[in-house]
Amino acid sequence: MPIGFGIIGCGMISRFHARAINDVRGAKPVACFDRNPANADKLAEEFGLTAHHDLKQMLADPAVDAVTIGTPSGAHLEPTLAAAKAGKHVIVEKPLEVTTKRCDRAIAACEEAGVKLGAIFPSRFHDSSVQMKRAVDKGRFGRVTLGDAYVKWFRTQEYYDSGAWRGTWKLDGGGALMNQAIHTVDLLQWLMGPVEEIQAQTATLAHERIEVEDTAVATLRFASGALGVIEASTAVYPGYLKRIELHGSQGTAVLEEEDLKTWDFAKKLKSDEKILAEMKKSKSTGGGAADPAAIGHHGHTLQIQDFVKAIQKDTTPAVDGHEGRKSVAIIEAIYKSAKTGRVIKMA
């Protein structure tokens, strides 16, 4: 029997969840819920789901084995707790939650209930990201010296005005960092390892009526001793693809969205020829640089496939709750540094 998924939160991202689940063998979207009944009805009609107007009712449905959560960021915890209590596995759209305290409550609830918890970071599953991770793990960069992340995107004022939750601390959890750049922050720490200390500045420069930053710059010292930079903005017209740059004493690799743009190592391997050939074929979507809907769902598909396998084999998902918490902790420290003017040492 396929794993039946219920979709909680029927906004834009729910379509990506539904398409991804449909593409995974051994999984099937079966139900959906949204606080706005019309949203649930619309998604149900599009994908042939059972629409529920009451969350408890959906969680009581025996056809629902797991749920995806795509509510506003600061409203991820409550449905996670409810799903765990009902014995349903949970995979949550980024961020896992908007503070580490709320992340910890979600992790504890799922562990206590004996259900799987995953945080959606599809960038980890792209072939190019996996190649970079493999090169790091094999020591091909030599002594890693720099790890930088750049997310220079653009969002109109209308984007922030389109939802009362957007640009608020309570439900958005932050601005350009927590909402847009968190995928890249997660990927950077996955590649570079733990962050030891952070110093940062943030500002709201080009948008009105929002509580959070639209521009941020942070310098990092990793536990390895390497240094790094995170730049994030939703105030860079017209918006550019996100980049991660890794440098070391023996090599450099640059990732732009899903494409490897630089792959240059002192010690060449035969496998590099295939990677360099692939680099000539651009695979990137718009990456959400100017339009949040301009992304593909193939990364979601690969991650949900991994999550389904973890349920079936009773193993740990590649990006479980503890992994999902890491990027939130880094962004939380950036905000703290920007507010206090101090260097923040990570716990």
Q: Which CATH architecture has domain 124-292?
A: 2-Layer Sandwich (3.30)
Span 141-157, pLDDT tens digits: 999 999 999 999 999 99
What confidence score (pLDDT) does residue 285 get?
A: 58
What confidence score (pLDDT) does residue 284 get?
A: 59
What confidence score (pLDDT) does residue 169 get?
A: 96
> Which range (29-43, 95-109, 267-281) has the least confidence?
267-281
pLDDT at 347 over 90: no
Question: In 3D, which of 167, 190, 155, 5 has the Cα closest to residue 73?
Answer: 167
pLDDT at 122 over 90: yes
Read off the pLDDT of each residue in 39-46 and give the average, rounded to a whole number.
98
Read off the pLDDT of each residue in 294-304 and give the average, rounded to a whole number.
87
What confidence score (pLDDT) does residue 173 get?
A: 96
d(C-alpha 64, C-alpha 74), whole Å: 24
Span 195-206, pLDDT tens digits: 999 999 999 999
Read off the pLDDT of each residue in 107-123 and give the average, rounded to a whole number.
98
pLDDT at 296 over 80: no
What confidence score (pLDDT) does residue 346 get?
A: 96
Span 171-217, pLDDT tens digits: 999 999 999 999 999 999 999 999 999 999 999 999 999 999 999 99
What confidence score (pLDDT) does residue 50 get?
A: 98
Read off the pLDDT of each residue in 37-44 and give the average, rounded to a whole number.
98
What does the domain layout of the chain look like in residue ranges?
3-120+297-319, 124-292
Q: Looking at domain 3-120+297-319, what is its CATH homologous superfamily?
A: NAD(P)-binding Rossmann-like Domain (3.40.50.720)
Span 127-140, pLDDT tens digits: 999 999 999 999 99
> Which range (52-66, 249-263, 284-298) has the least confidence?
284-298
pLDDT at 95 over 80: yes
What confidence score (pLDDT) does residue 53 get?
A: 97
Read off the pLDDT of each residue in 242-248 and give the average, rounded to a whole number.
98
Span 20-40, pLDDT tens digits: 999 999 999 999 999 999 999
Q: What is the pLDDT of the chain when averaged over all its residues?
A: 96
What confidence score (pLDDT) does residue 286 get?
A: 62
What confidence score (pLDDT) does residue 126 get?
A: 94
What confidence score (pLDDT) does residue 283 get?
A: 62
What confidence score (pLDDT) does residue 290 get?
A: 65
Beta 195-203 vs 215-222: how paired, if at all? Answer: antiparallel
